[in-house]
Structure 1
Amino acid sequence: MTLAGRLLLFLTLILCSVSVPALAEVENAPGANLEVSLITYGPGDIYWERFGHDAIELRDTVSGEEVDFNYGMFNFDEKNFFLNFARGRMHYLMDAEPTTDEEDYYRQVGRSITRQRLALTPDQAAALRDFLFWNLRPENVGYNYDYYADNCTTRVRDALDRALGGIIKTRLTAIPGGMTYRQQTVRLMSAQPWLMLIMDLGLGPYADQPLSAWKESFLPETLQNNIRAIAIDDGHGGTHPLVQSEDVLSPNRLDVPPNTAPDLRMPLGIAGLIFAALIVIAWRSAKLAFALLGSLFLIFAGLSGLLMLILWSLTEHHSAWANANLLLFNPLAFVLIGSLWCARRRLQPSRLANGVLMAQLAALLVALLLHLLPGVVQQNQPWILFALPCWLALAWTSRKTSH
């Protein structure tokens, strides 16, 4: 073994010697000595931190040992990690760390830390502890991650609900949520507008389904807020709050996400009108600019449609399936690029190009009519407002070229 290898092994053994006693104290403590808390970490600056994070803390009140259990670990060195990520087969892991080690990082980067001490009975605390340690076993530690339905927060939520006999799910399922998956995603990603737009474009109707407070608790901050209102049986014929106390252990020092999702209809609608106007103006006075602008839009439409088709047909990203934006942007747009350059030389478009353009206008009409149907309809009005004037401008210039 090399010197570097020996040093790494030595450091690993030191870390293990520090963390193992803490785990042992909590693992062997009676339920009456266990204090259970939900730890919520605020959103970070990096895009993958925008949704926040959380953990379950178990504290042995006799020894003072504290351990955080979280479900947010993944391994870049896993075989085919990036391929699996692209295909929607993301493997996440559970982890347990001494609370101090876990929280030091969040303090350093300025993310808020909030502890909610929960009113579990000794039997419930012991059952939760046993489940968490069972979950740490090598055969149980991994799970297939889903952005909305099975993530690091839903796992924490479900573990607490299991220990409490299902009371959290019962209470929160009966309460309507405040936002959809799409609205929460756009709200939290609004600090990175380019990524926000990509995610909004790629989300299908799954993201627009009405949510209960239970489902909306896929977010750490939402779960934190929702459990404040839960009351549980006190064992004497009455009830008391599940959250016994709530303390901010470290304040937030970063920009706070907005409380509501930004409305994208106005900015995308204006962008569509401006781009369409530029296409028409260029067709009248600068044919090269016309061909370039039109090609830019068609390449965007074709690539976006191709990506949406891949997400639907070749991946397990079910939140992107059946995306109605395919009616606005699809790979057939590539067929029309050649006709733009023909129009620059005042050559009429081919019958194929005319047919594709008519089919695209019909698809736009279908996209509009879908919003008249009852039930859950994909909320893609911003993209309709962007695409409609651009396609109409291309259709108008094509018609003028044909005459």
Structure 2
Amino acid sequence: MSKKLLFLFFLSFSLNGFSQYSPITENTKVSILTVDVADESHTLYGHTALRIQDATNHFDAIYNYGMFDFRTENFILKFAKGDLQYYAASYSYDDFEYSYQIENRSVYEQSLNISLAEKQQIFDKLNTSINSEDRFYTYKFIHRNCTTKIIDVVNSVLKNNPIKNTLHKEESYRDVLFPYANNHFYMQLGINIIFGSKVDDQAATLFLPLDLMNVLENTSYNNKPLVSEIKTNFKANRTSTFSFLDSIYSLIIVLALFVILNKKAANCLYFFILGLIGLLFSTIGLFSFHEELLWNYNVLLFNPLFLLLVFFILRNNTKWVKKISLISLLFLGSYVVYMFSKVHLIIVLPFVLATGIQLARLAFKKA
């Protein structure tokens, strides 16, 4: 078992027992911590936590709203459905930083310039929360996550909710999220085709850790900067390398092979895969609580009609193959027109071209 796995194993037994009440003193620091991004899907957008540190009482704790339990019954189903319960927990700062040293992720700290009474209120709110049923919450990708929960706690204590979203006035959520996966093409592709029209709304909610860190640097409170000190507690040494297999070029080659091969079996396989993806997109909204997955216009590209097309190809029913191909071409054309203003057009373009060529061949094939 790796050191990281051992650490997580022992940490899981200490989360519930670490939290303790300790009086706030003049030496107490309340800080917002930002953990930088990494390469795995659950680390792609970073992380936010809150630190309470008091040298007088030898108290140094993290309050983390990003906890979930892999042992939850039907974990994958609950995550997909959107009713997986996340929870808040408190544990040692040293354990927190060590876990991200293992993952080679930078940790930044911004100390809040607030009064002793406000520090006490934040501390009390955090401890009340993690020692009650309030520690559990239903995770929402944009509107309820580790970052928004920390903002809610701090804003609930400070006057006039000083932490506000001052970024991305013209950008959509999709525009904001898109660059985070620039070095992971297939993850970027998957994220953008599974997200529906909700993420094309203007990015009004402050929900990403690095965005919160940038906002805090320019936030004032009581006519002074809200952040009194900015530190890098751990600096990761990360390098990005190009992977041909995880790039648009590998996708182009695979799709080009289907187009060049142009065989019945290959065409059936191609349209069957795309049709299944479209069927997933069409039905996921019936059971998922994730608003980001609703009204997914990418079904115009990954069209469930392709499953019916495959059926008629296998039955050698030329009449219906032509009809469905023409209808699908109309859907594909509508998709391209709608996508002109979307940031992810470039990464789905290989599918647009390959599918358009295949459909045109079937629609206008001579008897």
**TM-score of Structure 1 vs Structure 2, range by shorter chain:** 0.7 to 0.9
| CA-CA distance at 1:59 after TM superposition | 1.6
Instruction: Give 1:399 deviation, angstroms.
Output: 4.4
1:294 equivalent to 2:288? Answer: no
Matching of residues 303-342 of structure 1 within 5 Å: 303-340=276-313
Residue 78 of structure 2 is matched in structure 1 by 84
Q: Of Structure 1 and Structure 2, which has the larger fraction of its residues in helix?
A: 1
Alignment-derived partner of residue 24 in structure 1? 21
Q: What is the distance in 2 between the residues matched to 1:225 and 1:152?
A: 16
Distance 1:379 1:327, change over 3 A: farther
Q: How far has the Cα of 1:176 moved from its partner?
A: 3.5
1:157 and 1:165 map into 2 onto residues whose CA distance is 13
State whether residues 201 and 383 of structure 1, in contact with CA within 8 Å, keep that contact through their aligned partners in structure 2. Answer: no
Deviations 1:361-391 (A, max 9, x none): 221232234358xxxx765523663343333
CA distance in 2, matches of 1:56, 1:166: 20
In structure 2, distance between residues paired with 1:87 and 1:390: 32
Please state how far the C-alpha of 1:340 moved relative to its aligned partner: 4.2
Identify the range of structure 1 (242-251 vs 388-397) with the bigger mean alpha-carbon deviation.
388-397
Q: Residue deviations 1:286-314, cap 9 Å, x none?
A: xxxx2233223202211110111122222
**CA offset at residue 204 of structure 1?**
1.0
**Paired AA for residue 252 in structure 2:** A
Counterpart of 1:232 in structure 2 is 221
1:117 and 2:111 aligned: yes
Q: Distance in 1 between matches of 2:116 and 2:86?
A: 30
User: Aligned Cα RMSD in Å?
Assistant: 3.2
- The Cα of 1:218 is off from its aligned counterpart by 1.3
Trace 1:33-44 onto structure 2 (pairs within 5 A): 33-44=27-38
Q: Cα distance, 1:138 vs. partner?
A: 2.9
Query: Where does the alignment leave 5 or more consecutive residues of structure 1 unmatched?
Result: 1-10, 234-238, 259-265, 284-289
Q: Identify if the C-alpha distance between structure 1 residues 257 and 166 changes in structure 2 by more than 3 Å, giving closer, same or farther.
A: farther
The one-letter amino acid paired with 1:231 is S
Residue type matched to 1:240 in 2?
Answer: K
**How far 1:355 moved relative to its partner?**
2.4
Closer, same or farther: CA 139–15 of 1 in aligned 2, 3 Å: closer
Cα distance change, pair 129–293 in 1 and its aligned pair in 2 (3 A): same
The 1:294–1:15 alpha-carbon spacing in structure 2 relative to 1, beyond 3 Å, is closer
Between the aligned partners of 2:152 and 2:16, the Cα distance in structure 1 is: 31
Flag the 1:392–1:29 CA change in 2: closer, same or farther, 3 A. closer
Q: Which residue does the alignment assign to 2:360?
A: 396
* Aligned mate of 1:222, from 207, 211, 216: 211
Structure 1 contact 167–232 (Cα < 8 Å) conserved: no
**Pairwise CA distance, 1:224:** 0.9
Gapped runs of 5+ residues in structure 2?
1-9
Is 1:368 equivalent to 2:336 in the alignment?
A: yes
Percent identity, aligned pairs only?
A: 21
Check if 1:249 corresponds to 2:233.
yes
Query: Which structure's CA Rg is the greater one?
Result: 1
Task: Give the whole-Å Cα distance in 1 for the aligned partners of 2:46 and 2:331.
Answer: 38
Q: Is the 8 A contact 2:105 2:235 kept in 1?
A: yes
**Scaled by the length of structure 1, what TM-score is found?**
0.78
Whole-angstrom distance in 2 between the partners of 1:252 and 1:282: 46
- Change beyond 3 A, Cα 1:257–1:90: farther
Letter in 1 for 2:213: Q
Pair 1:187-2:179 in alignment: yes
| Aligned-partner SS, 2:138 | strand
Written as runs of structure 1 = structure 2, the 5 A alignment for 1:268-283 is 271=252, 275=255, 279=259, 281-283=260-262
2:156 maps to which of 147, 159, 162: 162
Q: Distance in 2 between matches of 1:120 and 1:19?
A: 25
Q: Is the CA contact (8 Å cut-off) linking 1:324 and 1:378 kept in structure 2? A: no
Residues 1:391 and 1:194: Cα distance change in structure 2 (over 3 Å): closer
Between the aligned partners of 2:180 and 2:224, the Cα distance in structure 1 is 33
